[in-house]
Structure 1
Amino acid sequence: MKLIWVSIRILGASVFLCSLIGFYHIGKLMSRSNTALSKRSIQTTPSHQQNTFPKTIGSLIQDVPKSSLPNEIWDQDLHATNTKQVDEDEDVRINGEFSALDPTEKEPTMTSRGKQHDARAPLVRDIFQHSWKVSGADICQKKPKVDILVVVISSPSHILQRNSIRESWGEQVKERKRMALLFILGRSPDLDQHVINESIQYEDIVLTNHEDTYENLSLKILAALQWYQDFCPQAKYLVKVDDDVFMQIPRLHTLLAGMNRSKLNHGKKLILGNVASGWAPSHEINSKYYISPKEFNKTVFPAFVTGPSYVISTPAIPELLALAWDHPYIPLEDVFITGILAEMANVPRRLVMEFRNNAARIPAKFLGCTLLRTISIHQVTPFEQKEMTILARNPQCGPPK
């Protein structure tokens, strides 16, 4: 029995000794692995830190930090830069007339683009057509005291959208002596004659000599600015509206009439609307918001007013046009005209929360509350325009009882 007990003790000691030796070698191996891993971490950390760039246009707006970079003046040769620091808060100035924007609320809607080769962008002057297939020259002549020119951006095939506006808030514009309404369209070979017939019937169409495409949207807006200079120079404000936007004309008139009476704002260069700051250009060729580095080579866009609806005070228009002609063409209309050109012309972009340029539709049950504090609402179908015009006369907050 003693012999068996001694044997068990010797066996246990041997197992314990083997375990110690095994743990020693495992620990040594792990130490070497950790050392190698630490070296790799040290080598890759700087590279990882370099990839903390601003989010691009396609990202959710709450992920986009407000830029602290200067909005540099465009340099034609893409070499020289202006190192003067610009405080973006001075571009988006707010006084007692304007409320603050919650930047996490929504993402600006921008013009979409297809793929594009990386060729040098042409200058605007080389592709802009200062001529009209249908001029609509007498639209403002019939109202010689026009203060507010409402320009609806439409496409030849959007007949339903135009008629729905004519039968709803567009009628409110035409009833006012100091407001005028026009629809501006680009050319489409299959539909030009239909548009000409429509212009004869309603006398509110301007047909440019540019092809009606997404890539030509900036040309269409520049044509609207040029049309103001040619045919309606008495207007004090140009209101740009997409044809899927509902406008509360009485609220718009109240805002602009108040600004016109204000000594602070009367006769000043201004762009009013839903301001976006800190947006970085997308250089991804497959992105719907792609922009070539040769079109725009800065890290962050200047503050711009999102496209569905905005107001330009007409003292700003001649300078915006003059700067546009010698600038490389950029199809992103709101970025180009209300951001890049406005920055070059020192035109302040002022935030007006009542311009609801929402990227998503607003549920019908909330429209009553929304109408109490908005001037424009984006993503509206033609069938809703008349209904919303009626609802806006006596909006009720909350779901129907």
Structure 2
Amino acid sequence: RDGTDSIVAQSENLAKISETDQVQVDKKISKDNQQVKKDEALASLIVRKTEGMAPPISVKVAVKGPAAVLVHIKNSTSSSKSTIKPTVSSSKPKSPSAVGAIKIDISTPKLPVDPSKGIPTYQIYESGHIMDEIDLHYLCPKNGTKVKLLILITSALEHFDARLAIRQSWGHYGERRDVSIAFVLGRTADANVNKQLTEENSIYGDLIRGHYIDSYNNLTLKTISSLEWVDQHCQKATFILKTDDDMFINVSKLLFFLDNHAKDKKTIYGRLAKKWKPIRNKKSKYYVSPGQFGAAVFPPFTTGPAYVMTRDIVHDVYVQALRQVYFKLEDVFTTGIVAQQLGIKRVHINDFLNRRIPFNSCNIRKAISVHMIKPNEQFDLWRKLLDQTIKCK
């Protein structure tokens, strides 16, 4: 019986201890909930979209990384002389939706917007990436210190075959120590597609996904998302090639070209387009409203299928793009309007064809970039590029 009484006493003591612990836990949860409410209140002050809505008090919230750029742009004056120098951490990336303990949605308007009215890009762009899908060690170790060429391929979510064909053909260059290749995508609410993308990335680890909806009208957001990723995680890569998943890239010829331009600064190389006029027909896929771009002629720009940037312009282009009035023609927007505002050189290179050509070995060897390539055609071009039995003049 003494043994039984002892066991009962111990059980009662444990129950008291458990009750004490539960009280402490309840207090901790209550305290944490109060702090979360305070944090959310502070965050709501930061993300107000209408000027003058915030009360005249000083609010200090620890904001770092990509969101810091957006916050700074929002709070900066409209003067062209103002300078943005956000603090950008190059350390291990944090969750894209979390800045400190605060979730900030600084980009999504509360009401639907009409881009044709002339909307600053920062109002519709959501910074960050789906970080758990990115293999930084594989794509850009040590912030790209030893990466000569970073190839970022914009791809539609459902283009699984196109991505696979590139990986199995010219994408083999991504196995080189000085070359990194990744595909840039947006997001979708389609659960089946998301599942397939997760499985794809678990195998290859080469998908970079932003928080914008993946669509044609958001191509400019996709390019900005690419620039943000480079600025945050691969800023030491020497050159950045932006291209599409229907392109064939002669990587060896491109590397040879870049070796001859290793010391160049503040430059974009590609196929230069001059004196192109905005299309004002609202039924056109390429319609640009006067509110988005008022001039009669676009500034010179490099066409979107493929162009190369020197690394020293990535941050400035990213920040300036957020300030610019948004429209969907990403090549005109990025390499034309934004580049001209920043005084960046755009250089025409004949070998950037950016169009479809007859498939023969000599044509392929002379080109850096060929457009409108179907997934099954990638293998044919790859074979013809490597065929040493064909002699070219």
State the TM-score bracket (shorter-chain normalisation). Answer: 0.5 to 0.7
Asked if residue 219 in structure 1 is aligned to residue 221 in structure 2, the reply is yes
Deviation larger for 152-161 or 189-198: 189-198
**Residue 371 of structure 2: aligned partner:** 378
Q: Is 1:368 aligned with 2:361? A: yes
| Residue of structure 2 in register with 1:236 after alignment | 238
1:131 alignment counterpart: 128
Counting aligned pairs with the same residue, the percent is: 32
Distance 2:344 2:194 in 1: 36
> Which ranges in structure 1 are unaligned for 5 or more consecutive residues?
1-115, 261-265
2:353 equivalent to 1:356: yes
Q: Distance in 1 between matches of 2:164 and 2:129?
A: 22
Alignment: residue pair count: 275
Contact 1:240 1:310 in 2 (8 A): yes
What is the alpha-carbon distance in structure 2 between the residues aligned to residue 320 and residue 348 of structure 1?
13
Task: Determine helix, strand or coil for the equivalent of 2:117.
Answer: coil
Q: Is the 8 A contact 2:236 2:311 kept in 1?
A: no
CA deviations on 1:91-117 (whole Å, 9 max, x unpaired) are xxxxxxxxxxxxxxxxxxxxxxxxx96
Residue identity in the other structure for 2:358? P
The structure number with the bigger radius of gyration is: 1
SS in 2 for 1:254: helix
In structure 2, relative to structure 1, the CA distance for the partners of 1:299 and 1:140 (3 Å cut) is same
- The one-character-per-residue Cα deviations of 1:42-90 (angstroms, maximum 9, x if unpaired) are xxxxxxxxxxxxxxxxxxxxxxxxxxxxxxxxxxxxxxxxxxxxxxxxx
Between the aligned partners of 1:166 and 1:394, the Cα distance in structure 2 is 19
With normalisation by structure 2, the TM-score equals 0.67
Helix, strand or coil: the match of 2:376?
Answer: helix
- 1:255 corresponds, among 248, 254, 257, to 257
Name the SS for the 2:304 alignment partner. strand
Higher RCO (CA-CA < 8 Å; seq separation 6+): 1
Distance 2:391 2:335 in 1: 33
Give CA deviations for 1:166-208 in whole Å, capped at 9, x if unaligned: 000001x223211101001011221122112211110111111
In the other structure, the counterpart of 2:197 is 195
- How far 1:368 sits from its partner (Å)? 2.4
Task: State the partner residue of 2:4.
Answer: none
Q: Distance in 2 between matches of 1:140 and 1:248?
A: 21
Relative to structure 1, the CA distance from residue 118 to residue 130 in structure 2 (aligned partners, 3 Å threshold; closer, same or farther) is closer
Following superposition, the deviation at residue 140 of structure 1 comes to 0.5
**Comparing 289-298 with 379-388, which one deviates more in the overlay?**
379-388
Given that 2:134 and 2:206 are in contact with CA atoms closer than 8 Å, whether structure 1 keeps it comes out as no
- What letter corresponds to residue 157 of structure 2 in structure 1? P
**3-state secondary structure, aligned to 1:272:** strand
> What does 1:239-318 correspond to in 2, within 5 Å?
239-260=241-262, 266-318=263-315
CA contact (8 A) 1:267 1:315 kept: no
Q: Distance in 2 between matches of 1:289 and 1:158?
A: 22
Does the CA-based 8 Å contact 2:271-2:302 persist in structure 1? yes
Runs of 4+ in 1 over 6 A off after TM superposition: none
* Separation in structure 2 between the aligned mates of residue 290 and residue 267 of structure 1, nearest angstrom: 35
Residues 97-138 of structure 1: per-residue CA shift (max 9 Å, x gap): xxxxxxxxxxxxxxxxxxx96752221111111111234433
Report the residue type matching 2:361 in the other structure. Answer: G
Structure 2 SS opposite 1:372: helix
AA of the residue aligned to 2:149: I
The 2-side partners of 1:141 and 1:369 are apart by 36
TM-score by length of 1: 0.65
Match of 1:160 in 2: 161
Query: Which letter maps to 1:207?
Result: R
Q: 1:78-227 residue pairs with structure 2 within 5 A? A: 119-133=116-130, 134-138=133-137, 139-141=139-141, 144-171=145-172, 173-190=173-190, 191-227=193-229
The equivalences for 1:63-78 within 5 A come to: none
Structure 2 unaligned regions, length at least 5: 1-112
The 3-state SS of whatever aligns with 1:157 is coil
- In structure 1, distance between residues paired with 2:176 and 2:253: 13
Q: Output the amino acid matched with 2:354.
A: N
For residues 224 and 134 of structure 2, the distance between their equivalents in structure 1, rounded to whole angstroms, comes to 15
Q: How far apart are residue 369 of structure 1 and its match?
A: 3.1
Measured on the aligned residues, the alpha-carbon RMSD in Å equals 2.1
Q: CA deviation at 1:213?
A: 0.5
Question: Deviations along 1:288-312, whole A, 9 cap, x unmatched?
Answer: 2100100000010000000101101
How has the CA–CA distance of structure 1 residues 118 and 269 changed in structure 2, closer, same or farther, with 3 Å as cutoff?
closer
How far apart are residue 257 of structure 1 and its match?
A: 1.5
Report SS of the residue matched to 1:355.
coil
Name the CA distance, whole Å, in 2 between partners of 1:187 and 1:276. 31
Give the distance between the partners of 2:377 and 2:154, measured in 1 at CA: 18
Q: How far is the alpha carbon of 1:144 from its aligned partner?
A: 4.4
Deviation of the 1:267 alpha carbon: 4.7
